[in-house]
Amino acid sequence: MKRRIFSGAQPTGSLHIGNYLGALRNWVDLQSEYESFYCIVNLHAITLPQDPATLRQKTLDLARIYLAAGIDPEVSTIFIQSDVSEHAELAWVLSSIARMGELERMTQFKDKGKGNRERAGVGLFTYPILMAADILLYQTHLVPVGKDQKQHLELSRDLAERFNRDYGTAFVVPDPFIPPVGANILSLQDPAKKMSKSDENPNASIFLLDEPDTIAKKIKRAVTDSGTTIVFDESRPAIHNLLTIYHLMTGKSANEIEVHFQGKGYGHLKTELAEAVVEFMKPFQERVKDFDDAHLNEILKKGAAKARIIARATLDDVYTKMGVVGAT
Ligand code: ATP
Ligand code: LTN
Taking only the tens place, the pLDDT of each residue in 251-301 is 999 999 999 999 999 999 999 999 999 999 999 999 999 999 999 999 999
Pairwise CA distance, residues 306 & 297, whole Å: 14
Cα of 55 to ligand 1 centre, how many Å?
17
DSSP letters, 102-159, are HHHT-HHHHHHTTT-TTTS-HHHHHHHHHHHHHHHHTT-SEEE--GGGHHHHHHHHHH
Q: What's the whole-model pTM score? A: 0.96
Task: Check residue 58 and give its pLDDT.
Answer: 98
Q: Given this model, what pLDDT does residue 233 score?
A: 95
Active site includes 301?
A: no
**Which residues have a Cβ under 8 Å from the Cβ of 323 and sit 6 or more positions away?**
none
Is the C-beta atom of 178 inside 6 A of ligand 2?
A: no
Instruction: Assess whether the C-beta atom of 149 lies below 6 angstroms from ligand 2.
Output: yes
Which atom of ligand 1 lies nearest, measured to the CA of 198?
4
225, 265, 215: which is closest to 245 by C-alpha? 215
What is the distance between the alpha carbons of residues 284 and 65, in angstroms, rounded to a whole number? 8
How far, in Å, is the centroid of ligand 1 from the Cα of 233?
Answer: 24
Dump pLDDT digits (tens) for 109-154.
877 777 788 888 999 999 999 999 999 999 999 999 999 999 999 9
Contact of 225 with 236, CB cutoff 8 Å: yes
Ligand 2 lined by 174 (C-beta under 6 Å): no
Q: What is the DSSP letter of 219?
A: H
- Please tell me the least confidently modeled range out of 96-110, 163-177, 229-243, 267-281: 96-110
What is the chain's mean pLDDT, rounded?
96
Average confidence (pLDDT) over 145-172: 98
Phi and psi angles of residue 80, each rounded to the nearest 5 degrees, phi first:
-95, 130
The residue among 166, 144, 160, 156 whose CA lies nearest residue 314 is 160
Asked whether residue 75 carries a pLDDT value surpassing 80, the answer given is yes
Q: How do beta strands 35-40 and 4-9 pair?
A: parallel
Q: What is the pLDDT of residues 40-60, one digit of tens each?
A: 999 999 999 999 999 999 999
Of the CA atoms within 13 Å of residue 159, those in its CB half-sphere come to 30
Which residue has the CA at smallest separation from atom 9 of ligand 2? 131
User: What ligand has the least distance to the C-alpha of 156?
Assistant: 2
Active site residue 194: yes
Element (H, E) at 73: none
pLDDT attached to residue 305: 98
DSSP label of 174: P
The residue annotated as part of the active site, out of 2, 110, 112, 282, is 112
Q: Is 204 in the pocket of ligand 2 (CB under 6 A)?
A: no
Between the CA of 19 and the centroid of ligand 1 the distance, in Å, is 5
Ligand nearest to the CA of 24: 1
pLDDT at residue 224 tops 80: yes
Written as one letter, the residue type at 39 is C
Element (H, E) at 7: strand 4-9
Question: Cα(128) to centroid of ligand 2, in Å?
Answer: 8
Q: Over pLDDT 90: what percentage of the chain?
A: 93
Catalytic residue status for 112: yes
Instruction: Kindly state if the Cβ of 146 falls inside 6 Å of ligand 1.
Output: yes
Q: What are phi and psi for residue 158, nearest 5 degrees?
A: -60, -40
Catalytic residue among 197, 302, 306, 321: 197
Helix (H) or strand (E) holding 288: none
Which residues are registered as beta bridge partners of 80?
40
Please report the atom of ligand 1 found closest to the CA of residue 7: 18
One-letter amino acid for residue 228 of the chain: T
Whose alpha carbon is nearest atom 7 of ligand 1? 10
Ramachandran angles phi, psi of 119, nearest 5°: -100, -10
pLDDT classification of 87: cutoffs 50, 70, 90: very high
Domains of the chain: 4-178+292-322 (3.40.50.620), 212-287 (1.10.240.10)
The CA R_g of the chain, rounded to the nearest whole Å, is: 21
d(CA 211, CA 204): 15
Euclidean distance between CA atoms 75 and 130, whole angstroms: 25
Q: Beta-carbon neighbour count of residue 257 at 10 Å?
A: 20
Q: Say if ligand 1 is within 6 A of residue 9 CB.
A: yes
Cα gap 204→191, rounded to integer Å:
9
Name the band, by pLDDT with cuts 50, 70 and 90, for residue 328: confident
- For residue 197, the CA-to-ligand 2 centroid distance in Å is 14
> How far apart, in whole angstroms, are the C-alpha atoms of residue 13 and residue 10?
8
How far is it, in rounded angstroms, from Cα 45 to Cα 191?
A: 26
